[in-house]
């Protein structure tokens, strides 16, 4: 009787093993399609990141930070250093600045320096007007570039949102691949148990 049970069980077990192998074959085909889709999405993500980098050519680089620092330093020196000798200033103002910096003058010398400074105010106004012209020019440049910057920022934000969608899609595809791999592992385990049973 035991031999008749084994004989009747063997075709059923063989059928189950064959069915499990067919399931594995189907899962492998599905996995291959999903893997191709995953590779396409990763390529899309790489293209998007490249587009974002092209819209922001050196926004995060050392060069841009260095230029910002230089601009800040120049602005600070231009606004707060009234005693700095400028290229446009006449020689008298340059020498007066030097005398004031050294500070070893008597009261009479300081009064004389003060009178000379007030006499040289007319030339100083020319320098101040050049600063104002530069500020106006910078404001005009800002007003011209601001809309371009706004469009660029809007494009970057749009691309970042697409990037988030693609990243979520990649995660879901990877989860599907993991589920398929787990299912295949379970099928392989069933095949092994069926083969051991025979």
* DSSP codes, 17-84: HHHHHHHHHHHHHHHHHHHHHHHHHHHHHHHHHHHHHHHSTTTTSHHHHHHHHHHHHHHHHHHH-TTS
| CA neighbor of 55 nearest in space, from 188, 163, 157, 180 | 157
Residue 1: per-residue pLDDT: 40
Whether the per-residue pLDDT at 12 is higher than 60: the answer is: yes
Helix (H, G, I), strand (E, B) or coil at 1: coil
Q: What pLDDT score was predicted for residue 115?
A: 74
Long-range contacts at 105-112 (CB < 8 A, ≥ 24 apart): none
Distance CA 141, CA 169 (A): 42
User: Which residue has 């970057």 as its token pair?
Assistant: 156
Q: DSSP assignment, residue 87?
A: S
Task: Please check the confidence at residue 2 and state whether its pLDDT lies above 60.
Answer: no
Question: How high is the pLDDT of residue 112?
Answer: 77
**Distance spanning both ends of the chain, measured CA to CA:** 16
Q: In which band, very low, low, confident or very high, does the pLDDT at 3 lie, cut at 50, 70 and 90?
A: very low
Q: What is the DSSP letter of 86?
A: P
Q: pTM, whole model, 2 decimals?
A: 0.49
**pLDDT of 59 over the 60 cut:** no
Band (pLDDT 50/70/90 cuts) for residue 9 is low
Q: Can you read off the two tokens belonging to residue 67?
A: 């230029």
Count how many Cα atoms sit within 13 Å of the Cα of residue 55 in the half-sphere of its side chain: 19
* DSSP-derived secondary structure for 7-24: HHHHHHHHHHHHHHHHHH
């Amino acid at each position: 009787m035991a031999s008749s049970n084994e004989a009747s069980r063997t075709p059923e077990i063989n059928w189950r093993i064959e069915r499990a192998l067919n399931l594995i074959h189907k899962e492998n085909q599905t996995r291959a399609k999903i893997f191709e889709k995953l590779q396409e999405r990763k390529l899309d993500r790489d293209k998007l990141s490249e587009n974002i980098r092209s819209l922001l050519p050196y926004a995060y680089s050392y060069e841009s930070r260095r230029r910002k620092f230089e601009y800040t330093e120049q602005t600070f020196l231009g606004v707060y250093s009234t005693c700095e000798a400028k290229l446009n200033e006449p020689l008298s103002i340059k020498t007066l600045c030097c005398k004031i910096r050294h500070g070893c003058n008597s009261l009479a010398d300081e009064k004389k320096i003060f009178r000379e400074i007030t006499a040289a105010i007319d030339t100083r106004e020319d320098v101040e007007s050049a600063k104002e012209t530069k500020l106006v020019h910078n404001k005009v440049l800002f007003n011209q570039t601001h809309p371009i910057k706004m469009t660029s920022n809007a494009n970057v934000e749009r691309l970042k949102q697409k990037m988030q969608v693609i990243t979520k899609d990649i995660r879901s595809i990877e989860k599907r691949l993991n589920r398929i791999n787990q299912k295949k592992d379970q099928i392989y385990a069933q095949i092994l148990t069926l083969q051991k049973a025979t």
